[in-house]
Chain A
Amino acid sequence: MSEGIVKRFMYVNRKAPYGTIYALESLEVVLIGAAFDQDVTLAFVDDGVYQLKKDQDTKGMGVKNFSPTYNALGDYDIKKLYVEKESLEERGLTQDDLINVVYEDEDDDYAEKPALFVVSKEEMSDIMAQQDVVLSF
């Protein structure tokens, strides 16, 4: 790909998975953005934190479980997933309840490093303010 302009894209996820199509659609658009070598950040606030709950099992409901895809984001060079601490706490959740998202650092012998970070609402606010483009789901 030719050298293009790289912008900071943030995808803000505020909806729970499965009840609506937003979470899955967000993931699709995130992967498109990554394919264009943009600087991608994902934010999970409000019910969006439920998208990252581990142990999702959709067999009884008969639809595809798309939560393993979050684990593959590192392969697309997406390594900044921020989860708002206040949204987790209000729902009785901690980081231990979430999927462990990592990426392989090619500059460090492909060591696995964390890609998911729990941040305060103040930190989330700062991260949002730094973006060029914000897409909300």
Chain B
Amino acid sequence: MLHTVNKSPFEKNSLASCLRLASAGSVILLYEDGIYAALKGTRFESTITDALKNHTIYVLTPDVEARGMSVDKIIAGVKPTDYAGFVDLVTGNNSVQAWL
């Protein structure tokens, strides 16, 4: 299953709920305001680092760049992807759960 998170972890508990309930091995995509969780140096860096042990995590780079954030600041292990990659993730997984 693909889980998508599009809310900032500082504003909403969408990421926390996703990580609590997503089964091991499922894929997570961070996009829109969800990308702030994918960056080094924030309060949530260790949350993502821990989650990488059980999940493959992607981040949508156009949403990173739009917000003035550097792709170089993406936490090691989180995979950058683009809109075409987003489509591949949706078609490559049997279902999608959107954490709004």
Which A residues have a C-beta under 8 Å from some C-beta of B? 14-20, 46-47, 50, 53-61, 63, 65, 67, 90-93
Contacts and interface: CB of A to CB of B under 8 A. Distances in A.
B67 A17 contact: yes
A53 B69 contact: yes
Nearest to B62: A60
B6 to A, nearest CB: 7
Interface stretch (B21-29, B34-42, B47-55, B90-98): B34-42
Contact of B66 (A18, A46, A47): A18
Interface residues of B, number: 24
Which of B8, B39, B43, B45 counts the most chain A CB atoms within 10 A?
A: B8
Nearest to B39: A92
Given A50-B36, A91-B36, A19 B68 contact: no
B82 to A, nearest CB: 8
A58 to B, nearest CB: 4
Interface of B: 6-8, 10-11, 32-33, 36, 39-43, 45, 61-63, 65-70, 82
Nearest to A20: B33
A19 B42 CA distance: 19
Nearest to B9: A47
A18 B65 CA distance: 11
B76 to A, nearest CB: 15
Smallest CB-CB A-B distances: 7 pairs:
A92-B41, A60-B62, A19-B33, A53-B68, A56-B68, A58-B66, A55-B68
B8 A47 contact: yes
Given A19-B32, A47-B33, A50-B36, A60 B66 contact: yes
Nearest to A54: B68
